[in-house]
Amino acid sequence: MPRAIRLLTYNVHSCFGTDRRLDPARIGEVIRECGPDIIALQEVDVGRARSGGMDQAQMIAAHLRMESQFHPALHLEEERYGDAVLTALPMRLVKAESLPSSGEPRGALWVEVDIGHLKLQVIVTHLGLRGAERIRQATALLGPGWLGGIRQSESRVVLAGDLNAVARSSAYRALAGHLRDAQLLSNARPRPTFPSRLPLLRLDHVFVGDGIGVKACRVHDSPLARSASDHLPLLVELELEPHRRSIEKDNLPTYGSGAPPLP
């Protein structure tokens, strides 16, 4: 049977809302409204003066009773800024590195989440503002050090984040040539995520690989979400198909005492 997982991607804008109020707890409440199992966050501050020196990844994770992995795309002395993954499921860090950038530094974070017999590979990123830069970053993510090195026969793959790319952009098309856009796999019409008060652009995406179905996908636009950040979160309900090897293992006969079967 497929395993159901709820995954959320959310650019939290350093926890500064559209009302200019700094409030990580409010971000946590928006996430709680969605009830996700795995959360991909972008624009997370850790130790930055502008946000009071707080560790936003840890604060939001504690609010939700989850664990976090954080990767700083930008690291200036004690100030860090980047992406995070939060979950209460068993998780391990696989890779966290910079991506080719000509403007503001960008990076990607890759974690492996254990879901029963399945290993879900979750990569979160926040691509640059310039088209040529995004193409270089998308190409790097599709290369052997990232998505190109994952054997989808053994793992399930999700790429999530603020790609700063609409569907007609070259970076989006490059990624869509290898993975599938979750919003296009659901029965609902694709909805924009930015800006949160009057969404016009579909910049935040979840791409899925082989063996993953999409049961539902929606942009969460509650009153709280419209004020907590300049982006709206995107929630996807995924159905993870078991690997053939797991199916075969589950279907093996058992003999109770461990004795060999009778001839």
Supply the pLDDT for residue 247. Answer: 44
What is the three-class DSSP state of 133?
helix
Look up the pTM and report it. Answer: 0.91
Domain parsing of the chain, residue ranges: 5-240
The ranges of the chain with pLDDT < 50 are: 246-263
Whether the Cβ atoms of residue 90 and residue 69 lie closer than 8 Å to each other:
no
Between helices 24-34 and 56-64, what is the axis angle to 10°? 40
The top-level CATH class assigned to 5-240 is: alpha beta
Supply the pLDDT for residue 254. Answer: 36
CA-to-CA distance for 116 and 63, rounded, in angstroms? 25
